[in-house]
Structure 1
Amino acid sequence: MFKKQMGFVTLITIAIAIVITLIYEFDWLHISPDVMLVVRWVTGVVLTLNALTRRNLTTWILTCLILGVFVGLDFPNFARALQPLSQAFIKLVKTIVGPILFSTLVYGIAGHSDLKAVGRMAWKSMLYFFLATSCAIFIGLIVINLTKAGVGVDVAHMPHEELPTTSGITDADAKAMSHISEEAHGVYKFSVFIRDTFPENIVKAVYENRVLQIVVFGVIFGIALALVEEKKRKPMVDFTGSLSEVMFKFTNIVMMFAPIGVGAAMAYTVGHLGADILKNLFMLLGSLYLALIAFLSFVLLPVALFLKVPVKQFIKAVKEPVSIAFATTSSDAALPKAMSAMEKFGVPRHIVSFVIPTGYSFNLDGTSLYLSLAAIFVAQAAGIHLDFGQQLLIAFTLMITSKGVAAVPRASLIVLIATADQFGLPTFVIAAILGIDELMDMARTSVNVIGNCLATVVVAKWEGAFDEEAPFREDAPAEIES
């Protein structure tokens, strides 16, 4: 009973913390800074006491998120110095990605020796990914055309800074692109994407965290292993099975550092941002969050209800990986926890190990929505009118060029710059988005994780392999404990 009361206290305190942050940023009530500082840190103490009482990883992550915001507001120089802690956490998690993807994929394919099942999973996953990302793109277009967030922006006062060039394209690629027309850039970049899907060196792919290359190698290796006779196949299957179990335990150990890494990431983000840019681009930020909420409410939720997915239990299963993705702005950081959570939720390991990694390249719901919304914002800010056909062409070009960026924080901004340049949109306008891109990246990355977690359940239900009792078995201990 006491823990339930403390849970209610957590929600109220977090709501107060958000209001306090808004009051500070926008100076709505003209309250003395000293008074606001005291109120913030009293709130922080309450949250910390609550976390000590509940002793729950999710509670600690949320608590450190709020404390990170307060540190960023009150001690920005110190907050910026905390960046190495967040970077250390993400690096630790990235060490998990290669081994866990390879081991779970190979074990899932060769362990079952059912190659037809892999083929079925592939086309079912791709069909669902295409439909989901298409819905996300349309919602992004609808919302930005309704809010017109970019209309009225004073382009003359925007910084004309040199922005980063397209990532993932070599010097040879850039030289080749310089000799072709603007219209051919998209086709060439797509061919580069197809080429880079296949690994030339698996060690290099693991080192560089090329998720799609690891997936391709793992699938082919798993199929080859499944074709080997049982006597010679079994040792390798046992090895990959053991390796996947070890990596999941490794994940649990690393996640003990999550509250510190997440808090440091949030402190750095808030300390790095300024209030002025938040005010100037509040409409864009609000439009993105509105569009993402609409996508969750009108696309993912109906899918879950139609398939009779226990929504309450699903939310409980994904809250930790989503909170990690929200704070670190990297789907990579949430990948191991998301895979573990979905397996416990009742999705078989061979489906989890195929759908989530593949979805990280092809099912970027939040990123696709953001890119379509941001591209039209740039056009609006520059005073360029785009008809619906032109908007669709830009949106679907962005959907293709965004494949494989989920693992890299804010890499979607690079994709946006490249595509805007291709369609003749002024790339210097995008400089204005840099200030709040971290806040937008938090939301879109979280939706990426939610969408991929739900995708595993969709495919498992479609395959008739979902364990209907598992979500409630996971929920039972919490009810008894309360």
Structure 2
Amino acid sequence: MNRVFTYFIVGSMVLGVLVGWLLNQTLPAEQAATVADNLSILTDVFLRLIKMIIAPLVFSTLVAGIAHMGDASEIGRVGVKAIGWFILASIVSLTLGLVMVHLLQPGTGMSLALPAADAGSTVDVAKFSLKEFVTHLVPASIVEAMARNEILQIVVFSVFVGTAVSAIDDRAPAVLALVEQVAAIMLKVTGYVMRTAPVAIFAALAATIAVQGVGVLATYAKFVGGFYLSLGLLWGLLVAALVAIVGTRGLKLMAAIRQPTLLAFSVASSEAAYPRTLEELQKWGVSRKVASFVLPLGYSFNLDGSMMYCTFAVLFIAQIYGIELSIAQQITMLALLMVTSKGMAGVPRASLVVIAATLTYFGLPEEGLLLILAVDHLLDMGRSATNVVGNSVASAVVAKWEKQIEAPPDEGQPARA
């Protein structure tokens, strides 16, 4: 199914480029713009479908994730160290994406006009005063927050609900079961929405090239190449941290997880590689106790590749439209993405949902989402592989801190239970 969907994605990209080129070459500029505007009907519908799922998806996945973590006393020492590493890795991933997109400037070549006639060249900074920001965090009504897709307010409410559920002795099984069922339903709905992605990709590429010409493809090449360069740097930092903490034996871990990493890359899903990753971690020497706790927790709270992509893509979109965000706004964006990227493991194209919510929060053009959608599957392959590497490193580091790294079986020491 993943392979067939990949073929549809690639086919829609090729067809969109060809149709857009034909329109650009055969029609006068005004007519080409009219056709592009009609194609935007498909892209607008897709955008509305994405916005439709944001609120219930974030609420249900975040509440379920927090509720299953348990309170700090039960998580204990291992949980605290794991979460500390996740936070540090998140900061590094998000910041590296921010720095690299500024250095490479992948979106500056496109220079698209703002879609709204009354939109300015910069984001409105009125709501970024300390008072406005802090008071805006707390929803006056969760119904209103969900209706307006106020992602930070939804997150705050979800954190309170998830914490309350985990604090109850029996964890409110009926409520928790309901939230998990809602999450499962929304994951299924998200899958349905993403099946329409090839149509939206075709329309977005055809409309863009019909107006801008094929020269715009150079911007895509710069975007994809710049992101994979950034992922390479992140891998280097992760491996360096692993060797610094664990020792040179950490290089053997990177060799051991080669197959699950390639699997995640080929199917664009880090979850598909989970069973094999867990097996290889234990073979390498991470105790079963640590591996079985840290790895699944990492799949919800330590998506290094996905977090880097969120900052890279949001600022790429801002560059495309010539929008500049202040330092304060970018720091706010990092804080927002730090929270919204958690608890969304297993969501098809979860990064797109997070990016859409971030665009809405900052008032950036939502149409920009369609520009990255055309190459999202290709980028998802890289960030899925990075998620596997990041969670494997996290498991090994926490095991080292807990002195739970055993000699591999061929060295005569059985793994600790």
TM over 0.5: yes
Q: Distance in 2 between matches of 1:286 and 1:438?
A: 14
Structure 2 partner of 1:192: 158
Identify if the C-alpha distance between structure 1 residues 469 and 338 changes in structure 2 by more than 3 Å, giving closer, same or farther.
Answer: closer
Shift of 1:175: 4.2
- Give the one of 229, 234, 245 matched to 1:290: 229
The answer to whether 1:385 aligns with 2:324 is: yes
Q: Distance in 2 between matches of 1:452 and 1:205?
A: 26
Shift of 1:473: 7.5
Q: Distance in 2 between matches of 1:443 and 1:382?
A: 26
Shift of 1:148: 0.5
Instruction: State whether residues 343 and 352 of structure 1, in contact with CA within 8 Å, keep that contact through their aligned partners in structure 2.
Output: yes
Instruction: State whether residues 154 and 381 of structure 1, in contact with CA within 8 Å, keep that contact through their aligned partners in structure 2.
Output: yes
Secondary structure of the residue that 1:427 maps to in structure 2? coil
Normalization by structure 1: what TM-score? 0.54
- Give the one of 127, 137, 150 matched to 2:84: 127
Instruction: State whether residues 155 and 429 of structure 1, in contact with CA within 8 Å, keep that contact through their aligned partners in structure 2.
Output: no
Q: Distance in 1 between matches of 2:178 and 2:235?
A: 36
RMSD: 4.0
The answer to whether 1:418 aligns with 2:384 is: no
Give, as a single letter, the amino acid of the residue that structure 2 aligns with 1:418.
Answer: A
- Give the one of 290, 294, 297 matched to 1:358: 297
Give, as a single letter, the amino acid of the residue that structure 1 aligns with 2:106.
Answer: A
Identity of aligned residues (%): 32
Structure 1 residue runs of 5 or longer lacking an equivalent are 1-63, 78-104, 110-114, 159-171, 211-267, 475-482
The answer to whether 1:323 aligns with 2:249 is: no
1:2-401 to 2 correspondence within 5 Å? 118-156=75-113, 175-178=144-147, 185-192=151-158, 195=161, 200=174, 279-401=218-340
Instruction: State whether residues 330 and 406 of structure 1, in contact with CA within 8 Å, keep that contact through their aligned partners in structure 2.
Output: no
Structure 2 partner of 1:477: none
- Give the one of 436, 452, 462 matched to 2:391: 452
Map Cα deviations across residues 2-40 of structure 1 (whole Å, 9 max, x no partner). xxxxxxxxxxxxxxxxxxxxxxxxxxxxxxxxxxxxxxx
Instruction: State whether residues 292 and 366 of structure 1, in contact with CA within 8 Å, keep that contact through their aligned partners in structure 2.
Output: yes
Map Cα deviations across residues 425-477 of structure 1 (whole Å, 9 max, x no partner). 11111110001000111111111111111111111110111013458689xxx
Shift of 1:336: 1.6
Instruction: State whether residues 310 and 471 of structure 1, in contact with CA within 8 Å, keep that contact through their aligned partners in structure 2.
Output: no
Q: Distance in 2 between matches of 1:430 and 1:344?
A: 41
Higher relative contact order (CA 8 A, sep 6+): 2
Secondary structure of the residue that 1:404 maps to in structure 2? coil
Map Cα deviations across residues 255-292 of structure 1 (whole Å, 9 max, x no partner). xxxxxxxxxxxxx99xx988968644111111211111
Identify if the C-alpha distance between structure 1 residues 206 and 190 changes in structure 2 by more than 3 Å, giving closer, same or farther.
Answer: closer
Instruction: State whether residues 331 and 448 of structure 1, in contact with CA within 8 Å, keep that contact through their aligned partners in structure 2.
Output: yes
Give, as a single letter, the amino acid of the residue that structure 1 aligns with 2:224.
Answer: L
Identify if the C-alpha distance between structure 1 residues 208 and 320 changes in structure 2 by more than 3 Å, giving closer, same or farther.
Answer: farther
Instruction: State whether residues 347 and 467 of structure 1, in contact with CA within 8 Å, keep that contact through their aligned partners in structure 2.
Output: yes
Structure 1 partner of 2:406: 467
Q: Distance in 2 between matches of 1:176 and 1:141?
A: 28
Secondary structure of the residue that 2:276 maps to in structure 1? helix
Shift of 1:141: 0.8
Give, as a single letter, the amino acid of the residue that structure 2 aligns with 1:399.
Answer: M
Instruction: State whether residues 93 and 304 of structure 2, in contact with CA within 8 Å, keep that contact through their aligned partners in structure 1.
Output: yes
Structure 2 partner of 1:429: 368
Structure 1 partner of 2:48: none
Instruction: State whether residues 239 and 251 of structure 2, in contact with CA within 8 Å, keep that contact through their aligned partners in structure 1.
Output: no
Give, as a single letter, the amino acid of the residue that structure 1 aligns with 2:301.
Answer: F
Q: Distance in 1 between matches of 2:400 and 2:278?
A: 17
- Give the one of 345, 349, 365 matched to 1:406: 345
Q: Distance in 2 between matches of 1:290 and 1:465?
A: 34
Shift of 1:176: 4.0
Give, as a single letter, the amino acid of the residue that structure 2 aligns with 1:306.
Answer: I
Number of residue pairs matched by the alignment: 302
Secondary structure of the residue that 1:412 maps to in structure 2? helix
Shift of 1:157: 10
Q: Distance in 1 between matches of 2:183 and 2:227?
A: 28
Q: Distance in 1 between matches of 2:287 and 2:73?
A: 16
Identify if the C-alpha distance between structure 1 residues 394 and 176 changes in structure 2 by more than 3 Å, giving closer, same or farther.
Answer: closer
Give, as a single letter, the amino acid of the residue that structure 1 aligns with 2:103.
Answer: L
Identify if the C-alpha distance between structure 1 residues 143 and 328 changes in structure 2 by more than 3 Å, giving closer, same or farther.
Answer: same
Identify if the C-alpha distance between structure 1 residues 141 and 306 changes in structure 2 by more than 3 Å, giving closer, same or farther.
Answer: same
Identify if the C-alpha distance between structure 1 residues 141 and 157 changes in structure 2 by more than 3 Å, giving closer, same or farther.
Answer: closer
